[in-house]
Structure 1
Amino acid sequence: MSFLNKLKNEIIIADGAMGTLLYSYGTDSCFEELNLSQSEQIQHIHEAYIGAGAELIQTNTYAANYLKLQRYGLEDSVKEINSAAARIAKKAAKERAYVAGTIGGIRGFKPNMITLEEIKRSFREQLYCLLLENVDGILLETYYDLEELETVLAIARKETDLPIIAQVSLQEAGVLQNQTSIADALAKLEGIGADVVGINCRLGPHHMLKTLESVPLPKHAYLSAYPNASIPAYTDGKFHYEGDAEYFRQSAIEFRNQGVRLLGGCCGTTPDHIKAFSDVLKGLPPIEEKETKAINKVMVSEKPSSSRELPPLQDIVRERPSVIVELDPPRKLDTSRFFEGAKALKEAGIDSITLADNSLASPRVCNSALGYLVKQQTGLRPLVHVTCRDRNIIGLQSHLMGLHALGLNDILAVTGDPARVGDFPGASSVYDVSSFELISMIKQLNEGLSFSGKDLGQKAAFSVAGAFNPNVRSLEKAVGRLEKKIEHGADYFISQPVFSEEKLLEVHEAVKDLKAPVYIGLMPLTGSRNAEFLHNEVPGIKISDSIRNRMASLKDDPAQAGAEGIAIAKSLIDAAAELFNGIYLITPFMRYEMTVELSNYARETTERLSRRKQHA
Structure 2
Amino acid sequence: MSSNRRDDFLNQDDLLITVEVNPPKGIELEGKIKQLSKLSNRVAAVNVTDNPMANLAFNATIFAHHIQEELDLTAISHLTCRDKNLLGLQSDLLAANTLGVDNFLVLTGDDPKNGDHPDATGVFDLDSVGLVELITRLNEGFDAQGNSLTGRPKINPGVAVNPTADNLSVEIKRLNEKVEAGAKFIQTQPVYDVDSLFRFLDYLGEIEIPILVGILPLKNEGMADYFNKNVPGIKISKEILARMRGAGLEEGIRICQELVTQIKDDVDGIHIMPVGGIETANQIIAA
**Common topology (TM > 0.5):** yes
Q: TM-score, normalised by structure 1?
A: 0.44
SS of the residue 1:386 aligns to? strand
Q: Identify the residue that residue 8 of structure 2 maps to in structure 1.
A: 312
Q: Structure 1 stretches of 5 or more lacking a match?
A: 1-308, 555-560, 602-616
* Residue ranges of structure 2 left out of the alignment (5+ in a row): none
- Of residues 566, 573, 594, the one that matches 2:280 is 594
C-alpha displacement of 1:540: 4.5
Task: Tell me the alpha carbon deviations over residues 566-593 of structure 1, each in whole angstroms, 9 at most, x when there is no partner.
Answer: 110001001120210211111225x221
Task: Give how far 1:333 is off.
Answer: 4.0
Match of 1:335 among 24, 29, 46: 29
Q: Give the superposition deviation at 1:342.
A: 1.4
2-structure distance, mates of 1:410, 1:353: 10
**TM-score scaled to structure 2, two decimals?**
0.92
Q: 1:356 to 1:539 in 2, by over 3 A?
A: farther
Write the distance in 2 (CA, Å) between the matches of 1:538 and 1:334: 32
CA distance in 2, matches of 1:521, 1:543: 14
Match of 2:271 in 1: 584
Q: Separation in 2 of the partners of 1:429 and 1:475?
A: 27
CA contact (8 A) 1:504 1:575 kept: no
> Residues 257-294 of structure 1, C-alpha deviation per residue, up to 9 Å, x if partnerless?
xxxxxxxxxxxxxxxxxxxxxxxxxxxxxxxxxxxxxx
Q: 1:310 to 1:452 in 2, by over 3 A?
A: farther
2:158/2:186 contact within 8 Å kept: yes
* Residue type at the aligned position of 1:599: I
CA contact (8 A) 2:164 2:200 kept: no
Shift of 1:513: 1.2
Shift in CA distance, 310/562, structure 1 to aligned 2, threshold 3 Å: closer
Whether 1:401 and 2:94 are equivalent positions in the alignment is yes
Q: How does 1:182-221 map to 2 (within 5 A)?
A: none
Larger radius of gyration: 1
- The answer on 1:420 being equivalent to 2:106 is no
8 Å Cα contact 2:6-2:44 kept in structure 1: no
Task: Tell me if structure 2 keeps the 8 A contact 1:483–1:514.
Answer: no
Asked whether the 8 Å contact 1:348–1:600 carries over to 2, the reply is: no
CA distance 1:333–1:539, shift in 2 (3 Å): farther
Residue 563 of structure 1 pairs with residue 250 of structure 2: yes
1:488 equivalenced with 2:171 (yes/no): no
1:287-330 deviation digits (Å, cap 9, x = unpaired): xxxxxxxxxxxxxxxxxxxxxx74534443xx432111111112
Greater helix content = 1
Identity of aligned residues (%): 28
Conserved? CA contact 2:6–2:73, under 8 Å: no
Which amino acid is the alignment partner of residue 181 of structure 2? H
Distance 1:365 1:536, change over 3 A: farther
Aligned CA distance change for structure 1 residues 462 and 521 (closer, same or farther; 3 Å): same
Whole-Å Cα distance in 1 between the matches of residues 186 and 30 of structure 2? 30
The alignment's C-alpha RMSD in Å is: 1.8
**Residue in 2 that maps onto 1:458:** 151
Q: Provide the C-alpha distance between the structure 1 equivalents of 2:233 and 2:81, rounded to a whole number of angstroms.
A: 18
- 1:168-317, aligned counterparts within 5 Å? 310=6, 312-316=8-12
Report which structure shows greater RCO (CA 8 Å, sep ≥6).
Answer: 2
Cα deviation for residue 425 of structure 1 reads: 1.6
Distance change in 2, residues 1:466/1:384 (3 Å): same
**C-alpha displacement at 1:393, in angstroms?**
0.6
